[in-house]
Amino acid sequence: MAKRLFILILIAALFKGCTKNRKPIQWNANYSIPVAHGSLGINNLVADSILSTNPNSSLSIHYKRNLYQLNLDSLIDLPDNQLTDTFALPFPIGIDFNPGQTFINQPEEQLFDINSIELKEFEIESAVLSYSIKSTIEGEIIYDYTVNSAIDQNGNPFSISITVPAAQNGILSTVSGTIQIPQTTWNLQGLSTGEVNTLLTTINVKVSNSNSGAVNVSNLDTIYIENQIESISPISATGYFGQQQIQVGPDTTSIDFLNKIVSGAIHTNDIDLNLDLENGVGTDFKLIINELSSIRNNTGVNLSHSIIGQSQNINRAYLVGNSVVPSFFTSTINSSNSNLNSFIENLPTSFGYDIDIELNPLGNISGHNDFISKNHPLSIDVDLVTPFSFALDQLTLRDTIELSIVDTNGINSGTLYMEITNGFPLSAEISIFPLNSTNQLLIPELIPSAIINSNNIVTDSITTTHSLTLSENTINNIKNSKQIIVEVVFNTPAGNSPIDFYDNYKIDFKISADFNATVTIP
């Protein structure tokens, strides 16, 4: 048919080249074309990434999701710190200083404010030093600033050198800017090495070699210095982190292993859910899970288990050389010690949680040797393992199908034909909708179950055919979207136990169409 249509168009085009001022040629034609094919399989129920195939080809689900992490940024907030100095020079009479000569050399201990936390050391990936220097000295000077406590990977302290122009006619000379601080380790133990939160810095000011002669400095001169360390990106920290009380939530974490299910219910008898806690932080914790819930469409099912509301002591991690050895805690939850079946059968799209965490419940037992690093947080995970064995109640899957119709503009009417091959060991109802419409093209029709043996394992698929006439509105919708929605609803027979699913189970469909269309040649 398509070949004959092409020949007619070609002949008409040749006539067009020989005729002037002729009206467009039109005629109606009927033609049959394949428009779509596809399948709904196990991967339309859950993601392939969480499926594993057992030796007998049946499937299991293994889904792990992080519920919460207490990381370095959450535990230790390194705020911006302003370090200010004002130098009223102690010279009762003016003194001349030659180019290159130093007239201020000031080592200092500066308090690094970290709230209630007492740090001996921290390592940063980067930070920013903002500086502002104002001078009344009528000569160009060089300001050198060294953070003796901040040592880079080559063993050198962080330092900057800033040129400050000469003051003119009593007007302050001002210079300001920012400098990136690279990866450095900061020792906060001060001069005595027994302190905490204490920086060692050195300020050095000298006459610039750019001056043509000596510069006169007296007690009438002042230098104002403001340095601010900001945008600190920490890597690790050591010290005493205090006895902090941390409230986590109420909050939710989205989960996606059941989000392909549109509606309906599943029933199962064999699920294990492990609540895994890995502590990579060098502190002890006391932890209480006040609530853990499964949530779908604002409907929540709270977990009922002995771990809920009970205090759990979590041991600290420890160091072997530079390697962190975490501590572990696991609570196993199943259908015999909890309401896990109803928790999972809620088909959650998120987990809700409310957790209380107490840091260092026994105080500073480490002697300021608590530690934390960026890559080793306190982590709470949910780890679910279950055979892919369920009873299904109105379980609904939906997929959007692209129609392979190149040109829909001339379509007047048509009929769609569907060939459906069911490879699942249960019957299903199939419906078809235009995109962005609730009007069914195919009123739900029953698809019989595949042929199964005495073990409820599919031995052969069943194929059925279905047809539907397209209304004018439906044709207009298809013209605009070139898509349809296929919806399948599964049910296991009443009273049946959960059935095992295998990796080759799927529903295949092929869609073809008979269209009447108007062909126009200008």
Please, is 230 exposed, middle or buried when counting C-beta atoms within 10 Å of its C-beta (0-12, 13-18, 19+)? Answer: middle
Q: Are residues 249 and 265 in the same domain?
A: yes
Q: Compute φ and ψ for 463, nearest 5 degrees.
A: -110, 135
Q: Quote the CA–CA distance of 220 and 214 in Å, as a whole number.
A: 17
Same domain, 38 and 53: yes
User: Would you state the pLDDT for residue 1?
Assistant: 47
**Scanning the structure block, which residue is given the tokens 């080759």?**
504
d(CA 328, CA 381): 11
What is the rounded radius of gyration, in angstroms, for the C-alpha atoms of the chain?
Answer: 37
| Structure token pair of residue 506 | 């799927």
What's the one-letter identity of residue 13?
A
Q: Do 89 and 234 belong to one domain? A: yes
Residue 357 has what pLDDT? 96
Edge-to-edge strand ranges of the sheet holding 411-422: 25-41, 506-521, 411-422, 462-470
State whether 110 and 183 are in the same domain.
yes
Q: Is 331 part of a structural domain of the chain?
A: yes
Domain that holds residue 331: 61-74+244-387
Cα 327 to Cα 346: distance, rounded to the nearest angstrom: 33
What was the pLDDT predicted at 405? 65
Q: Are 231 and 41 in contact (CB under 8 A)?
A: no
Q: Are 483 and 400 in contact (CB under 8 A)?
A: yes
- Same domain for 257 and 225: no
Helices (H), 252-399: 340-345
DSSP string, 205-226: EEE-TTSSS-EEE-TT-EEEEE
DSSP state of 137: -
Residues 262, 150 within the same domain: no
Q: Looking at 341, 362, 387, which one is the last position of a domain?
A: 387
460 part of a folded domain: yes
What pLDDT score was predicted for residue 82? Answer: 74
First-last CA distance in the chain: 22
- Residue written as tokens 């007047």? 412
Q: 3-state DSSP call for residue 475?
A: helix
Which of 191, 220, 240 is the last residue before a domain boundary?
Answer: 240
> Are 70 and 129 found together in one domain?
no
Question: Same structural domain for residues 253 and 142?
Answer: no
pLDDT of residue 154: 93
Which string of b and e fits 92-104 if b means at least 16 CB within 10 Å? Answer: eeeeebebeeebb
Q: How many domains does the chain have?
A: 3
| Whether 90 and 230 share a structural domain | yes
Is 355 in the same domain as 452?
no
Mean pLDDT in order along the chain per 10 residues (522 residues): 45 48 64 76 75 82 91 85 71 85 89 85 93 91 93 94 90 92 93 88 93 88 87 93 92 79 73 94 96 90 94 95 94 92 87 95 94 95 87 78 66 79 85 67 72 86 83 70 78 72 85 74 64
From 187, 209, 240, the end of a domain falls on 240
Q: Across the strands, what pairs with 357?
A: 246, 287
Q: Do 214 and 331 fall within a single domain?
A: no
**CA 235 → CA 114, 121, 126, 238, 410, distances in Å?**
16, 11, 9, 11, 65
